[in-house]
Chain A
Amino acid sequence: GAVVSQHPSWVICKSGTSVKIECRSLDFQATTMFWYRQFPKQSLMLMATSNEGSKATYEQGVEKDKFLINHASLTLSTLTVTSAHPEDSSFYICSAVNRLLTYNEQFFGPGTRLTVL
């Protein structure tokens, strides 16, 4: 199996509030999940690697205190955008690795569109 879900699919919030996005692997266990951000007409930019039971590894330039990642179980990772600002408006996509499959490829969730007013 290789189904990944995200919730919510879209969210609108006021500047200064926090937003939590959930990423779930529905039919497999994922020890590793990834969080990406995609701005309009641009490609996916990796934000962080989330490993179950340990701290996330953030890419250069990504503020770990602003983008809080928790991977408390083998099927759930959450991304919390704290004190969101309009420049955080973007399409956030998670992916999960199913290590039982041949290529260890990443399977992507449907994405969450965040709009900060």
Chain B
Amino acid sequence: GQNIDQPTEMTATEGAIVQINCTYQTSGFNGLFWYQQHAGEAPTFLSYNVLDGLEEKGRFSSFLSRSKGYSYLLLKELQMKDSASYLCAVRIYGSSNTGKLIFGQGTTLQVKP
């Protein structure tokens, strides 16, 4: 089976740094994605890791350790608009050789003034 775990909720203060963890156990692995989703809207792409290490993109960074089945998303200089759900998703290849995403349950982040 496929299993992807994230904390359900997190709270942080404006201007601070927050780290959202994700652990996974999947049959196959072809990259890990982080998406941001505001309520009632579609997810938007934040980052992608396929090799071990840290990928930095402005205020957002994502880390991957394939041997540990572990990733985190780091958000710096938090802003009120960062309040959203953050989805961790692992890409695996299905029987038709088409990559598909398996999503974690999402972490709802609330940023407070």
Contact = CB atoms under 8 A, between A and B. Distances in A.
A34 interface: yes
B45 A44 contact: no
A27 interface: no
A44 B43 contact: yes
Given A43-B106, A44-B87, A106 B101 contact: yes
Contacts of B94: 49, 57
B98 A32 contact: yes
Interface residues of A, number: 24
Interface on chain A toward B: helix, strand, loop, or mixed SS?
strand
A42 B105 CA distance: 6
A110 B42 CA distance: 5
B101 A46 contact: yes
A46 B100 contact: yes
A27 to B, nearest CB: 16
B17 to A, nearest CB: 24
Contacts of A111: 40-42
Interface of A: 4, 32, 34, 42-46, 49, 51, 57, 91, 93, 97, 103-111, 113
